[in-house]
Amino acid sequence: MSSTISFSEQVNRNFDKAAAHTNLERMLLTQIRNCNSIYRMSFPIKRDDGSIEVINAWRCEHSQHKLPTKGGIRYSESVNEDEVMALASLMTYKCAIVEVPFGGAKGGIKIDRRQYSERELESITRRYTFELAKKNFIGPGVDVPAPDFGTGAREMAWIADTYQAVSGGNIDSLGCVTGKPVPQGGIRGRTDATGRGVYFGIREACSIEEDMKKLGLSTGVEGKRVVIQGYGNVGFHAAKILEEAGARIIAIAEFDGAIFNPKGLSVQAVHEHRVETASIVGYPDAEILATNMAALELDCDILVPAALENVITAENVGNIKAKIIAEAANGPVSADANDRLLERGVMILPDAYLNAGGVTVSYFEWLKNLSHVRFGRMQKRFEEGAFRRIVSAIENVTHREFADEERQSLSRGASEEDLVNSGLEETMVLAYHQIRSISKRLGKGVDLRTAAFVDAIEKIAVCYQELGIFP
């Protein structure tokens, strides 16, 4: 859907709005806002039919105030330089908000991945990585890609393998990319991390009575009517975890259609239907909506746009009925739609905070790669022994024996996945209360997005000020 201004102007408009709430020097703000470096490349690949195609791709490093820079790589026909710049800048702010010590970056390859065979995708991915390596745009201490729209663990494994082949025995080379399959240096919990983070953010927002009252909602996720737009990795996991927490997923929209059931859809059953038929449309226990965009306009409590940017714009904002918009995607609400929603009192949980779960767990994966040890390996058994001794001591004092199941659950040591999920929860909870308290401190109805940007700008500014470059 169209927007009157470009995506990067949109992000910059949010930046400027927030910058006005800081006392920072103009040149410092300009340095924080600008994209530091961008590499645009073209390279040929051989198609399966023997023809040659020239591929266009980008990598943008928005800010090196912390290293490495970090951000996903998207494969999409609509990728362009402006989009990659906007997404890279969002990564900078995102990392600052959740205190992940990275600068922001983003990459894109302009292809419709469904039009390419696995072999072709592999050769595109490997060549792209090689181009990045040639120009020092990838490396565990330089710039670390990750999955994004249209990419996943398989592509990350190809990137890691290519980088390892050209990096000359760098012992930390696995840390050159995150979101890898677990046997190739990935971490448990990364695949569902963004969706899980979205859930934690929504749960925190819904737990505050004062804020829910203003929206005319009760506290808690339980019973909330949720619409999910985009049923990829992020949308699916967010839906699944929200459903587990008692929310009712009343509609799901994908690029080829949308389904609706006011009583609630079974997330797992819809997923299985899609695996079988390659589409969510036709799922038996639901009504098919006229268009996929119609799902956005349904009466619901929480709308979760989880696909691409600019799906809520000046054109459809008047029809949006959700009380909370949870931005699982990057940039789903255009700048003008954003202002209109805020005027109407809609709560927007901003992308730069809400979808930061992915990069948070990427950070854990990178730490794992650099430390060369799985989280939990050193302490799990030790913890279990200590817990068992505490359980026996309690049994001795109380003269009561725990049931086997109870004893086992009380003396369980933390696995890698437990630690990842708990680190993610801590991050999302802390950051939510931080941005909420900034919005309260600034007063005058300052929204959560502006507060999140103020938080990011102030944290990044400190890095430059400490260098003595700016006052």
Residues 6+ apart with CB under 8 A from 103: 61, 62, 63, 64, 65, 66, 67, 68, 69, 70, 91, 92, 95
Show which residues are catalytic.
106
Residue 355 in the binding site for ligand GLU (CB under 6 A): yes
Minimal CB distance to ligand GLU: which residue? 72
Q: Residue 62 and residue 359: Cα distance in Å, rounded?
A: 16
Q: Residue 259 and residue 253: Cα distance in Å, rounded?
A: 6
* DSSP string of 180-191, one letter each residue: --GGGT--TTST
Query: Quick one: 71 or 305, whose CB is closer to ligand GLU?
Result: 71
Window contacting ligand GLU (CB under 6 A); options: 132-140, 153-161, 331-339, 358-366: 358-366
Nearest distance from C-beta of residue 330 to ligand GLU, angstroms: 6
Nearest distance from C-beta of residue 61 to ligand GLU, angstroms: 13
Window contacting ligand GLU (CB under 6 A); options: 3-11, 280-288, 293-301, 352-360: 352-360
Residue 83 in the binding site for ligand GLU (CB under 6 A): no
b/e burial code for range 20-53 (CB count within 10 A of at least 16 → b): ebeebeeebbebbbebbbbbebeeebeeeeeeee
Which residue carries 């996929």 as its tokens?
292
Which residue carries 């990057």 as its tokens?
330
Among 14, 162, 330, 338, binds ligand GLU (CB under 6 A): 330
Residue 148 in the binding site for ligand GLU (CB under 6 A): yes
Residue 71 in the binding site for ligand GLU (CB under 6 A): yes
Q: Which of residues 150-189 bind ligand GLU (CB under 6 A)?
A: 178
Window contacting ligand GLU (CB under 6 A); options: 38-46, 69-77, 212-220, 403-411: 69-77
- For 203, the 3-state DSSP assignment is helix
Q: Residue 322 and residue 298: Cα distance in Å, rounded?
A: 8
Q: What is the dihedral of CA 15, 76, 326, 22, to 10 degrees?
A: -10
Q: Are 353 and 374 in contact (CB under 8 A)?
A: no
b/e burial code for range 193-210 (CB count within 10 A of at least 16 → b): bbbbbbbbbbbbbbeeee
Residue 359 in the binding site for ligand GLU (CB under 6 A): yes
CA neighbor of 193 nearest in space, from 70, 429, 376, 356: 356
Among 8, 362, 411, 434, binds ligand GLU (CB under 6 A): 362
Window contacting ligand GLU (CB under 6 A); options: 68-76, 210-218, 245-253, 443-451: 68-76
Nearest distance from C-beta of residue 427 to ligand GLU, angstroms: 13
Residue 92 in the binding site for ligand GLU (CB under 6 A): no
Nearest distance from C-beta of residue 59 to ligand GLU, angstroms: 13
Q: Residue 342 and residue 214: Cα distance in Å, rounded?
A: 13
Q: Are strands 103-109 and 69-75 parallel, antiparallel or unpaired?
A: parallel
Window contacting ligand GLU (CB under 6 A); options: 66-74, 280-288, 311-319, 336-344: 66-74
Query: Quick one: 232 or 376, whose CB is closer to ligand GLU?
Result: 232
User: Residue 102 phi/psi, 5° resolution?
Assistant: -130, 155
Query: Quick one: 328 or 341, whose CB is closer to ligand GLU?
Result: 328
Nearest distance from C-beta of residue 240 to ligand GLU, angstroms: 19
Among 85, 146, 270, 320, binds ligand GLU (CB under 6 A): 146
Provide the binding-site residues for ligand GLU, judged by CB under 6 A. Answer: 70-72, 146, 148, 178, 330, 355, 358-359, 362
